[in-house]
Chain A
Amino acid sequence: MEERPYPDRYLMDVLARVSTIAAVGVSVNEVRPSNYVARFLSRRGYTVIPVNPVYAGQVAFGQKVRKTMGLIPKRNNPVDMVNIFRRSEEAGRVVDEALDKLLHRGLQVIWMQIGVVDKKAAKRAEAKGVEVLMNICPKMEYQRIGGELRMGGINTGIVSARMPVIGPGTGSY
């Protein structure tokens, strides 16, 4: 098992704090991994706004796919988080666009998916007060910390003799 790079408490805090997520590079194809992640988050009550020029104008997760982050309507403010579903080489450009278009619209967190890492871009975002998570999946962490993955034989790393708290962001058992 790989080491867990972020403390559970911090991940829980991020997942509880954010509510609107721009999913950049997400696919509308239902069997693509990015679609699994974004669809799950939307099912759990997050407002997920797909951003992908390839599918602009189509509808996914109950939202219109936007061509760029700048085209996300004002009514969606604040856009708390950008979830990056692009290769590491593209991540820096996405980070810069997010800082340019969404910093003044409530951006708190940039979350790069498993396999996506750009440390230089992360520094640029952090310098502007935006938190960055890299090489990690919000769906998997939501399901792990909330105990859902336990049902599928997964080692959640959660050891506690306390009753599980039932509520948003923490899952049930």
Chain B
Amino acid sequence: MAEKTYGFDTLQIHAGARPDPAPGARQTPIYQTTAYCFRDADHAAALFNLQEVGFIYSRLTNPTVAVLQERIATLEGGAGAVCCSSGHAAQIMALFPLMRPGDNIVVSSRLYGGSVTQFSQTIKRFGWEAKFVDIDDKSAVEKAITRMTKAIFCETIANPGGHVADLPKLAKIADAHKIPLIVDNMTATPYLCRPIEHGATLVVHSMTKYLTGNGTVTGGCVVDSGTFDWIGAGKHPSMIEPEPAYHGMVFAETFGPLAFTFHGIAVGLRDLGMTLNPQAAHYTLMGIETLSLRMERHVENAEKIAKWLDKHKLVKAVTYAGLKSSPSAKVAKKVVPGGAGALFTIQLKGGYEACVKFINALEIFSHVANLGDARSLAIHSASTTHRQLTSAQRKAAGAGDDVVRLSIGVEDADDLMGDLDQALAAAHAK
């Protein structure tokens, strides 16, 4: 009885985007409008009461953004998605319905530096706490979970250290404690990993990276699997207690598998206001159309270059999880069988000073604080993205002083190796 299913390459172009019913536009139009006319007062009331789904005001919903939301939800295998203004916004949007003051989340110690800062510092001001643990250590994760723990959070392939999270194992722990597993899937993209298939409840993205793929806009999203039993778990008041702003309606009861997504729009975007604009949604939709093609080339290049760097005499170590020697190799086979992405770090002989010289000598690789662009990018994490961290935190995150992060683009692999080779030589020139 199952519906016809389509392949990833078909869905990345078609999901969410039927031809526009008014002029028949085939490409998704950019709906550059703030507000939408109601059919009549009754229709307006039904929309405001969440009795109907529709467009009211672009802080909440917009037709261009809606296409992107459904596109990503489909590619991730989720029930729904809410887009927002950045990856950092997505993390707050994911946590906001789960947390109350005094609650905590158990978080992987291997995270993007900006996320470490957001979780270890900024969320404290909401009365939330993050407990950082080694997610490979099951007993450490279990031990960190308390009555006040409302979720587990990790990255599929950690930025920048290339550690791959054992998602099925973490999902089992989360299930046993009746809490959602939240996975930041930015570095893998749904082409290489669909965390929901491994048991994740929520998936967050910085769409700024591979999904858009051209370094033009920032954006984020939260995808809900639609499978978490909020009522059975009884831990997340926003989902299971009467919502005063909607006359006491209970989201989980009223919307079932759509509850988290509707809450994200009707309460999250309404009151936090981290809205994605339709222009940005357009750029990301354009990018997603070629996601699978780009990811294949990203992975092909990354594998070739990581292998070559691993044997380079001026390189101490390469962290790419796609290398046989990587401590994550075994988990990578299970979680990202199509390839371990295209982001990794190299440890240079010559330490901090050599890293700085190396970065300055690059011609094709751009020195920027971004990743997942079609262009190859390089950054010395210790002096930039991970600068706010303590030295111990930097080491734990895989961003020590002698480490350079590479985001391998889709250019000619030989050209990229040539550039790295000359920059490595320059780093050690007398």
Which A residues fall within an 8 A CB radius of B?
1-8, 30-33, 36, 39-40, 43, 114, 137, 140, 143, 147-164, 166, 172-173
Contacts and interface: CB of A to CB of B under 8 A. Distances in A.
A159 B15 contact: yes
A136 to B, nearest CB: 10
A153 B261 contact: yes
B18 A8 contact: no
Contacts, number: 130
Contact of B53 (A3, A148, A161): A148
12 contacts: A1-B227, A31-B242, A31-B247, A33-B250, A36-B254, A39-B51, A140-B258, A150-B66, A152-B53, A153-B80, A154-B80, A164-B18
B247 A143 contact: no
Nearest to B16: A150
Contacts of A2: 79, 226-227, 257
B412 interface: no
B265 A152 contact: yes
Interface string B6-34: 10001100111011110010100000000
Interface of B: 1-3, 6, 10-11, 14-16, 18-21, 24, 26, 46, 51-55, 61, 63, 66-67, 69-70, 73-74, 77-83, 196, 225-227, 242, 246-250, 253-254, 256-258, 261-262, 264-265
**Most chain B beta-carbon neighbours within 10 Å: one of A114, A152, A158:** A152
A32 B51 CA distance: 11
Contacts of A162: 18-19
B70 A150 contact: yes
State the majority secondary structure of interface residues on A: loop
A166 B70 contact: no
B43 to A, nearest CB: 9
A141 to B, nearest CB: 12
A111 B166 CA distance: 41
Contact of A153 (B1, B6, B83, B256): B83
A154 B71 CA distance: 9
B70 A156 contact: yes
A157 B261 contact: no
A31 B246 contact: yes
A173 B21 contact: yes
A36 B51 contact: yes
